[in-house]
Structure 1
Amino acid sequence: MNGMQGVNEKLSSRPHKLASNRVWRTYHGGKMLEAWQGGEQPTDNSMPEEWIASVVRARNVGREHIVEGLSRVLTEGAEEVTLQDLIAADPVGFLGRRHHEKYGSETGVLVKALDAAERLTIQVHPDRVMAQEIFQSQFGKTEAWYILGGREIEGQPPYILYGFKPGMTRDTWEKLFWDQDIEGMIQALHKIEVQPGQVILVEGGMPHAIGSGCFLIEIQEPTDYTIRIERTTPTGRVIPDAMCHQGAGFDRMFDCFHYETYSLDEIKSRYRLQPKLIQKTESFEKYALLSYENTPYFGLESIEIKKQYALHQHGEFSVLVVAEGAGTLSWENGRVRVTRGDQIFLPAGVDALICESEHGDEPLHLLRCLPPRT
């Protein structure tokens, strides 16, 4: 182990490109995701999500024998290893001392890219109180979506279903479930069209569904607890009971919903977040898309680089997703070229990173995903 720790002390002082990490889900999609990643013949399939900087195993009933969801790193002079293994060998170097003191070897955050060719089943994720009570987990599944793009599916522009309309009660919601009144469930939630660049915060307990045609980056707490209220997907795939209640049982799963109701204006003003300009120069523009004022569980920044940007970590780690463009990332002992769709883990040991755009007329657009507030 001492030798391994010595190697990882060096690994924690450099960025790491992550291998593609597609994950099976109950819905179809992924065509736009594959095109974004440079695929020559993109298609929709049952692997519509890319899990980024993940130390979380996917919870898929019937596929428990398959280890899926864990991100992999290709290290120099070594075989491909999981990000989880590298962090475990040097948690302070990779995650930072303050984070390690609070969360141990847990990153506390999970990033995904997903593309939905069909509407996802209406669902909810537990907040931290319910996650601890029902699943004995310190993390719930509050999440946020950054809309990268989208496509029309059967003439329908990209949309989401979000939040209970006025008049909803727990008794009514439970009856809709037992009757499997899908149209009644859909009508109980607000339908909102989405546009590229928008950010939506989805707190634990909020009922929702990503609609068909959505292509987005999701940043969330690091769990896969998804309570599904529909027992059949829109394209007819049967959802096993355990995929509905996640092992909690049908009675307890309704405890995970928050039954507050909202007008459409309340939803848009409270949960559709506005970017805040942090700094603008001739070389770059930096925005806070999601700050710790919105949620303490994670943060999200947008950095559009025309020429050059110096990224400083201040003893914390982060995750970079290349949303558009191409360029180079340089640090004390090296440099790496990046292009659209790339995903990079920046250990806390990387104090400074110089990010340069390859083409001045096409900015290098980085999304920087931040861990929980410490």
Structure 2
Amino acid sequence: MEQSAWSRQPLKLSANRVWRTYTGGRLIEEWQGQERGQDSMLPEEWIASVVRARNAGREHLVEGLSTVELSDGRKALLQDLIQSEPAKFLGEQHAAAFGGEPGVLVKALDSAERLTIQVHPDRAAAKSIFGSPFGKTEAWYILGGREIDGEAPYILYGFKPGMTRERWEKLFWDQDIPGMMEALHKIPVEPGQVFIVEGGMPHAIGSGCFLIEIQEPTDYTIRVERTTPAGREIPEFMCHQGAGFEKMFDCFKYNTYTLEEVLTNYRLEPKVLHHSDGYTERALITYGTTAYFALSAINIRSGSYRFVEEDRFSILIAAAGSGRLAWEEGELEIRQGDQIFVPASVTSLSCSATPGEPLQLLQCLPPDARA
């Protein structure tokens, strides 16, 4: 098949598990159809990724890059396909603004233990400290979760009133982990909730969280705990990402919040865009919240849902159920856990659910090229 044909069809992505400093992943494996999932040091699935993971001691491994399952039986790196024809894969307007960079990264994440307390740089800090045009603002859509040691899923989020940079640095140098945890709000989470985590906001995903994360396309994670909750030592590089221990504190924003302010400003309320007997479409994250990405949920019960044709790509995740994607030149069966890259050149795309088995699709969109 000629090269340009790949940009005219949805592309199924292979599973792409990535090593991290914490354990998890059992719910990802069960979600993808494995009968007995297991937790491991591969707790994240990176989706439509052209980003290499920054894991100290594993630099010799190519971790994080997504592979496409081509219809002729071959496999190819998604980034190679995109680079071959950026405008056809990403859209002309997007390619004019970002070149061959999709500008977004999506993950499925399942935490069997609390992640270390961390922060990601905003774009200004990423540019000045790491020389990167992208920071790591992100958002979470809670898919589900599980109790771990009797505790329900939760997150740590935002400095409580009274925190200062001087106090935060002292907590780090003293490695006062209880003090760090107490400095952040602890918030129980439930399926369907959405949180935006802007660059500079301190946070930690707690144990038992199963979620979809959409973010800017970098792996800059500043960690302030030098050992994980399970007792694994964090290499210095994994704390400061090469910036150094003093400079890494420039990545934090030291604004403080009451719990009410956190929930009002950073827990987003999904908005119903369309509801009928056949399907419901909800906006989870819009360009009005951030220009860096958007996310919607489409629940199809019967009939067919037709996607709006626009000059941009999208990433589809089958969150639940099964069904069929159809476009001008073909069709593709999809089921829970599948991940699909839809090039901008795909036309007349629609989706239907398997009869008697409602389908939930998550549609992840790239940065707003107009912004």
- Scaled by the length of structure 1, the TM-score of the pair is 0.97
Moved more, 70-79 or 248-257: 70-79
The one-letter code sitting in structure 2 at the alignment partner of 1:8 is Q
Instruction: Determine if contact 1:315/1:351 at 8 Å carries over to the other structure.
Output: no
Give a deviation string over 1:202-243, Cα, whole Å, max 9, x none: 000000000000000000000000000000000010000000
- Which residue number in structure 1 is paired with residue 365 of structure 2? 370
CA distance in 2, matches of 1:130, 1:78: 43
Instruction: Determine if contact 2:12/2:70 at 8 Å carries over to the other structure.
Output: no
Q: Secondary structure at the match of 2:93?
A: helix
- Which residue number in structure 2 is paired with residue 3 of structure 1? none
Is the counterpart of residue 62 in structure 1 residue 78 in structure 2?
no
The one-letter code sitting in structure 2 at the alignment partner of 1:216 is L
Give a deviation string over 1:329-350, Cα, whole Å, max 9, x none: 0011111100000000000001
The one-letter code sitting in structure 2 at the alignment partner of 1:372 is P
The one-letter code sitting in structure 2 at the alignment partner of 1:20 is A
- Which residue number in structure 2 is paired with residue 321 of structure 1? 317
Is the counterpart of residue 332 in structure 1 residue 328 in structure 2?
yes
CA distance in 1, matches of 2:233, 2:65: 26
Which of the numbers 138, 147, 165 marks the counterpart of 1:143? 138
Equivalenced residue count is: 368
Deviation of the 1:58 alpha carbon? 0.3
Moved more, 217-226 or 71-80: 71-80
CA distance in 2, matches of 1:236, 1:356: 47
Which of the numbers 299, 305, 324 marks the counterpart of 1:309? 305
Q: Residues 246-265 of structure 1 correspond to what in structure 2 (within 5 A)?
A: 246-265=241-260
Give the fraction of aligned pairs with identical amino acids, expressed as a percent: 62
Q: Secondary structure at the match of 1:94?
A: helix
Deviation of the 1:77 alpha carbon? 2.8
Which of the numbers 294, 312, 315 marks the counterpart of 1:299? 294
Deviation of the 1:363 alpha carbon? 1.3
CA distance in 1, matches of 2:129, 2:38: 38
- Which residue number in structure 1 is paired with residue 214 of structure 2? 219
CA distance in 2, matches of 1:183, 1:313: 50
Q: Secondary structure at the match of 1:12?
A: helix
The one-letter code sitting in structure 1 at the alignment partner of 2:62 is V
Q: Secondary structure at the match of 2:126?
A: helix
- Which residue number in structure 1 is paired with residue 225 of structure 2? 230
- Which residue number in structure 1 is paired with residue 270 of structure 2? 275
CA distance in 2, matches of 1:304, 1:151: 23
CA distance in 2, matches of 1:163, 1:43: 31
Give unmatched runs, 5+ long, in structure 2. none
Is the counterpart of residue 241 in structure 1 residue 233 in structure 2?
no
- Which residue number in structure 2 is paired with residue 181 of structure 1? 176
CA distance in 2, matches of 1:126, 1:294: 18
- Which residue number in structure 2 is paired with residue 289 of structure 1? 284
Instruction: Determine if contact 1:312/1:351 at 8 Å carries over to the other structure.
Output: no
* 4+ runs deviating over 2 angstroms: 76-79
Is the counterpart of residue 53 in structure 1 residue 35 in structure 2?
no
Q: Residues 83-162 of structure 1 correspond to what in structure 2 (within 5 A)?
A: 83-162=78-157
- Scaled by the length of structure 2, the TM-score of the pair is 0.98
CA distance in 2, matches of 1:75, 1:88: 16
Q: Secondary structure at the match of 1:369?
A: strand
Deviation of the 1:249 alpha carbon? 0.3
RMSD: 0.8
